[in-house]
Amino acid sequence: MGELEMEKHVRYILTIEKKKDDFVSLVIEHLRINGAYWGLTTLDLLGKIETIDQDEVVSWVMKCQDESGGFAGNIGHDPHILYTLSAVQILALLDKLDVLDIDKVSNYVAGLQNEDGSFSGDIWGEVDTRFSYIAICCLSILRRLEKINVEKAVDFVVRCKNLDGGFGSTPGGESHAGQIFCCVGALALTGSLHHIDRDLLGWWLCERQVKSGGLNGRPEKLPDVCYSWWVLSSLVMIDRVHWIDKEKLARFILDCQDKENGGISDRPDDAVDVFHTYFGVAGLSLLEYPGVKAIDPAYALPVDVVNKIIFKK
Ligand code: GRG
Ligand code: ZN
């Protein structure tokens, strides 16, 4: 099996699209705040976070904050809970959470909870279990979970559970590995994993592994490196990761590398992008690949970063 081309992936992230030589301006133009989170987390997992200008990143992130307390994807755009989590994750990664007005940000997130316990993504009101996970993860990092009704939030997630053991985006929605990650993550972060039938869900998740070793996101679909994050992190959280062939999955991820120019794609021989580079490296991290830092499956942040947050007085 080929090796993980760590240096090439680092270089790829630092020079994405090679249009500018400065990471931050690339992020601003092409990736926005979500992309910055994926890129920076990958760099940290590969032990190279110090190669970027951290003060520049922090000052750019803070310019994305809106009056409401929420963050936008870029300067001057509208705030959304999706971007707010990325902003908080980036600041946690750089150990700079103290630049935030924690109550202002957490009030924005808490203000998006609905009467039934669900969360909207922004003022326009779309409801999705993605937003439940994001709110819970964000408030856990900020240590302000008490600002929401956790019991009702858990209740809503549990209402999105299906007979196959999986979860959908809303009650009755089809099970999909991405939504399963969100629901399992939300339940893990609130100490509510007892709502899950681990064997039933574990069986559904391990059936996502196809012949090539890769994982798909739903029955009959093609494998994709991103499910090495969505499926694998869920299996780790419910303690059923030994139900898949880890060796074969690692080989599939390594086969999706661009061995010349760095980066990882969704499937072998496709074009690489920063998202799948993160999913591949994060997947290998969960598989305990040598030389890659450990990632926390619920917070989606390196374990050492999470420990700093949890053990802070
Ligand atoms: C901090 C890790 C982290 C996440 C933030 C945004 C978010 C919370 C979670 C997204 C979860 C999700 C729904 C992921 C799925 C993304 C995806 C690959 C969707 C593709 O679905 P289809 O139907 O593709 O287009 P398939 O693979 O089913 O053919
Ligand atoms: Zn994908």
DSSP alpha helix (H) spans, the chain: 6-14, 23-26, 32-45, 54-63, 81-93, 102-110, 129-142, 150-159, 177-189, 198-206, 227-237, 246-255, 274-286, 303-311
**Ion ligand 2 neighbours, Cβ < 5 Å:** 224, 226, 266
Please report the ipTM that was assigned to this predicted complex.
0.97
Q: Residue 172 corresponds to which tokens in the numbers above?
A: 């009755």
Decide: 234 in ligand 1 pocket, CB within 6 A.
no
Q: Residue 291 corresponds to which tokens in the numbers above?
A: 């030389």
Can you give the pLDDT at residue 23? 61
pLDDT tens, position by position, 252-275: 999 999 999 999 999 999 999 999
Neighbouring-strand partners of residue 161: 167
Cα–ligand 1 centroid distance for 285 (angstroms): 19
Question: For residues 230 and 246, what is the distance between their CA atoms, to the nearest angstrom?
Answer: 15
- Closest ligand to 87 CA? 1
Give 183 or 19, the one with higher predicted confidence: 183
pLDDT at position 28 over 80: no
Q: Residue 242 corresponds to which tokens in the numbers above?
A: 């030994």
For 312, counting Cβ atoms within 10 Å of its Cβ (0-12 exposed, 13-18 middle, 19+ buried), the class is exposed
Q: In the chain, which ranges are E strands?
A: 295-296, 301-302
List, as own/partner pairs, every contact residues 257-260 make where C-beta atoms lie below 8 angstroms and the sequence separation is at least 24, other chains included: 257/2, 257/4, 257/5, 257/8, 257/9, 258/8, 258/12, 259/2, 259/5, 259/8, 260/8
Residues 249, 265, 291, 141, CA torsion sign: negative
Can you give the pLDDT at residue 311? 82
- In the three-class reduction of DSSP (H, G, I as helix; E, B as strand; rest coil), residue 76 is classed as coil
pLDDT tens, position by position, 173-196: 999 999 999 999 999 999 999 999
Can you give the pLDDT at residue 17? 47
Q: Residue 86 corresponds to which tokens in the numbers above?
A: 């990325």
- Give the count of beta carbons closer than 10 Å to the beta carbon of residue 286: 22
Residue ranges covered by each domain of the chain: 6-310
Residue 298 has φ and ψ, to the nearest 5°, of: -95, -45
pLDDT at position 289 over 80: yes
Q: What is the mean pLDDT of residues 28-36?
A: 73
Smallest CA separation from ligand 1 atom 16, residue: 178
Location of structure tokens 């990761």? 241
Cα–ligand 2 centroid distance for 194 (angstroms): 29
* Averaged confidence pLDDT in the chain: 94
Q: Which CATH architecture has domain 6-310?
A: Alpha/alpha barrel (1.50)
Q: What is the mean pLDDT of residues 156-165?
A: 98
Smallest CA separation from ligand 1 atom 25, residue: 217
Task: Tell me how far apart the terminal alpha carbons of the chain are, to the nearest angstrom.
Answer: 45
Instruction: Name 286's Cβ contacts closer than 8 Å, sequence gap at least 6.
Output: 228, 229, 232, 233, 236, 241, 295, 297
Q: What is the mean pLDDT of residues 32-55?
A: 94
Q: What is the mean pLDDT of residues 126-138?
A: 98
Question: For residues 103 and 66, what is the distance between their CA atoms, to the nearest angstrom?
Answer: 14
Of the pLDDT bands very low, low, confident and very high (cuts 50, 70, 90), residue 81 is very high
Cα–ligand 1 centroid distance for 215 (angstroms): 13
Residue 53 has φ and ψ, to the nearest 5°, of: -80, 95
CB 201 within 8 A of CB 147: no
CB 270 within 8 A of CB 108: no
Decide: 300 in ligand 1 pocket, CB within 6 A.
yes
pLDDT tens, position by position, 94-122: 999 999 999 999 999 999 999 999 999 99
Cα–ligand 2 centroid distance for 145 (angstroms): 30
Of the pLDDT bands very low, low, confident and very high (cuts 50, 70, 90), residue 24 is low
Q: What is the mean pLDDT of residues 223-241?
A: 98
Can you give the pLDDT at residue 21? 53
∠ CA 115-73-274, rounded to 5°: 115
191 phi-psi bin (left φ>0, alpha ψ -120 to 50, beta other): left
Decide: 214 in ligand 1 pocket, CB within 6 A.
no
Neighbouring-strand partners of residue 273: 264
Q: Residue 17 corresponds to which tokens in the numbers above?
A: 């699209």
Instruction: Name 66's Cβ contacts closer than 8 Å, sequence gap at least 6.
Output: 72, 78, 79
Bridge-based pairing of strands 301-302 and 295-296 is antiparallel
